[in-house]
Amino acid sequence: MNKQETTKLLALIRIAYPTAYRDMDETSSKATVHMWAMSFSEVPYPIMEQAFNRLRMVSRFPPTVAEMVLELRRLYHKALEGAMFRDTLGDREGAARYRAIMEATALYKDDTNLGGPVLAGLPGGTGGNIMQGCLEHPEIGWIERTGYPSWAQETEEKNREDLEDSLYEERRERQLFEGGR
């Protein structure tokens, strides 16, 4: 995905989740587009749109980069199943469509490449000091001077709290459903 396609995807997210990015200033907006574009630079836009459409049907909150990565992983494995099934039926054309999805999402098929092209190109790679690598990177280092890390930390804490609340609600609903325990 390039920056223009990333902007288009983030616009879809904003339409689906009207409060997402509502109060974001221009600097944060540019940083968000840049981060998403770098994170998914190897993934074609139609695949990203498909991943988002699948997520928006089941999530009350806008997706994070991490959630999109997990959805890309799910897409890869669904495509693998689909390709194998189509092969057994002798449907070469159908299998080829699934293989194209597999190829587009191959970076995310397991945990070994979770950093994708972004982290691999930074000083420290996928196993080193990634924050230091980001700060030293010529295109990312400016974010540190704009206060982005504190904003990211606040967002991460809020996302963690939302997830904990959601898990608690799910557990509670399951308990009520199973007999009020």
- Please check whether residue 71 is in contact with residue 49, taking contact to mean a CB–CB distance below 8 angstroms: no
pLDDT in tens, 48-76: 999 999 999 999 999 999 899 999 989 88
Task: Give the count of alpha carbons within 13 A of 12, CB side only.
Answer: 17
Which of 108, 99, 102, 111 has its CA nearest to residue 40? 108
Question: Average pLDDT for residues 120-135, to the nearest whole number?
Answer: 43
The pLDDT assigned to 103 comes to 87
Of the two residues 161 and 143, the one the predictor is more confident about is 161
**Whole-angstrom distance, CA of residue 82 vs CA of residue 113:** 23
> Is the per-residue pLDDT at 16 higher than 50?
yes
Nearest of 77, 48, 76 to residue 63 by alpha carbon: 48
Is the alpha carbon torsion for 101, 107, 111, 117 positive or negative?
negative
pTM, full prediction: 0.60
- Within the chain, what is the greatest distance between any pair of CA atoms? 57
DSSP secondary-structure letter at 157? Answer: H
pLDDT of residue 164: 75
Report residue 173's pLDDT band, with 50, 70 and 90 as the boundaries.
Answer: confident
CB 85 within 8 A of CB 91: no
Q: Euclidean distance between the first and final Cα of the chain, in Å?
A: 48
Instruction: List the one residue out of 140, 121, 115, 147 whose CA is nearest residue 39.
Output: 115
Q: Which is more confident, 102 or 4?
A: 4
Residue (of 79, 92, 87) closest to 51 by Cα position: 79
Taking CB atoms within 8 Å and a gap of at least 24, the contacts of 77-86 are 77/109, 79/105
